[in-house]
A and B are shown apart, each in its own frame.
Chain A
């Protein structure tokens, strides 16, 4: 068992389970975000404030961070090791058919990481360390962070943020088209029948997640600007 952590399949196993965990998180994140599309923001603000003040989140947040860290750590380690396995490259670049995303997962992951840092600075940081305006829906009895105002302000005021968030969704889409089925393959939950099915499910999942996230900036643009 001790060898498991250093073996190629063991390392990939950790990539997979953290990947699967992050994919569940994305789903939850998108469901909460979809509240942005309804009403004038009260619903979303209630949900966002519930999430940020909930004691359960104090436990979930570090686990989520750990999920990202383990995923990124193993990705870097495995990529580096894999690069060393072919010290002399081919003169004619490999022409074998394989999906572009599958061959560029680390680059896509890096782009998503850059996006993530900007995204955290845009929202998470401001909510966490309180530079968000307050809003009250019950005549001043309870004050909530106006996260809706923060999101709407960003997306209607700065078009390059809209472009950036759509680009982030595209990188995520590509990463997920390979990552989703690949995670199942690595944990051994795959065979000649399921491989095709999982690839289809991967595309559906990637379209829903990336399409959903890309729709939000578009929604604000259409709602306020156009």
Chain B
């Protein structure tokens, strides 16, 4: 198939950047979106042109780095798929595909389609952990966890930190990401101990880094490649409000 691409090109974090048009022939419908970009880059390199910088790693929707805003959708067409799971068969022959980086003050563009998602790491450092002396692996039945809680925690733990929630949100809010991380740990006995402090600190960090606030549009949940639901945001609100109203810290 033949496609037209409209891709954001920006030399570095300080440069201005603009859209560049490319025409690509011989694209296989079975190629993944990432393979298509590799194919484009090979062609560009052969022609002596600058390839397009973009991030990818696992190609199986677990690392969360293939963050592209394709035709108005974070991670492109289809629900619960990361960019690396999108195939060219989802586009029509001759289609024009516009590819942009995540747009948010807290995710500055580093180069072309690559953004700096360090802000998520900073939020995690503020409380997305359990401070225990790990030691030996404990006995499987030493900590009893109910099935419902275990399932919910697992659901939340599926978050890959890709940032699509921020990219989709009209407020560039990171609330879904924080909600997933806070909930995952608050549901488990090991994480409960620090639940209050964690909720307060992670939310404070999220605010400090310039993400917007949640207005419950639900756009994040619609684009999340892992299907994280906004019920976790209600849980985060619950955790945060309880922590604020009780004598934490």
* A93, B203: Cβ atoms closer than 8 Å: no
Specify which of A3, A11, A90 is in contact with B69 (CB 8 Å cutoff). Answer: A90
A71-114 near B? 1/0 per residue, CB < 8 Å: 00000001001101111111111111111001101000000000
Contacting residues, chain B, for A192 (C-beta < 8 A) = 229, 231
* B222, A96: Cβ atoms closer than 8 Å: yes
* A9, B237: Cβ atoms closer than 8 Å: yes
Contacting residues, chain B, for A9 (C-beta < 8 A) = 203, 213, 236-237, 240-241
| Interchain nearest-CB distance for B110 vs A (Å) | 14
| Interchain nearest-CB distance for B117 vs A (Å) | 15
Specify which of A81, A92, A96, A97 is in contact with B212 (CB 8 Å cutoff). Answer: A81
Contacting residues, chain B, for A84 (C-beta < 8 A) = 105, 210, 212
* B237, A7: Cβ atoms closer than 8 Å: no
B207-230 near A? 1/0 per residue, CB < 8 Å: 100111111111100110000011
Q: Does B172 contact A (CB under 8 A)?
A: yes
B157-171 near A? 1/0 per residue, CB < 8 Å: 000000000001011
In the complex, A98 Cα to B169 Cα: how many Å? 10
A165-191 near B? 1/0 per residue, CB < 8 Å: 000000000000010011001111111
Q: Knowing A82-B172, A88-B103, A188-B237 touch, does A12 contact B72 (C-beta < 8 A)? A: no
Specify which of B105, B222, B235 is in contact with A191 (CB 8 Å cutoff). Answer: B235
In the complex, A12 Cα to B238 Cα: how many Å? 12
Q: Knowing A9-B203, A88-B103 touch, does A95 contact B72 (C-beta < 8 A)? A: yes
In residues 1-55 of chain A, which contact B (Cβ within 8 Å)? 1, 3-4, 6-13
A10, A93, A97, A105 — most chain B CB neighbours (10 Å)? A97
* A11, B244: Cβ atoms closer than 8 Å: no
Q: Knowing A7-B203, A11-B213, A90-B103 touch, does A102 contact B237 (C-beta < 8 A)? A: no
B53-79 near A? 1/0 per residue, CB < 8 Å: 000000000000000010111100000
* B213, A102: Cβ atoms closer than 8 Å: no
* A103, B170: Cβ atoms closer than 8 Å: yes
Number of interface residues of A (CB under 8 A): 45
Q: Does A195 contact B (CB under 8 A)?
A: yes
Considering the complex, give the chain A residue whose CB is closest to the CB of B175: A8
* B105, A86: Cβ atoms closer than 8 Å: yes
In the complex, A53 Cα to B118 Cα: how many Å? 60
B190-212 near A? 1/0 per residue, CB < 8 Å: 00000000001001101100111
Contacting residues, chain B, for A91 (C-beta < 8 A) = 6, 8, 19, 98, 100
Contacting residues, chain A, for B172 (C-beta < 8 A) = 82, 85-86
Contacting residues, chain A, for B231 (C-beta < 8 A) = 190-192, 195
Binding site for A on B (CB under 8 A): 6, 8, 19, 69, 71-74, 98, 100, 103-106, 168, 170-173, 175, 200, 203-204, 206-207, 210-219, 222-223, 229-231, 233-242, 244-245
7 closest cross-chain pairs (CB), A and B: A188-B238, A8-B213, A95-B72, A85-B212, A82-B171, A190-B234, A82-B212
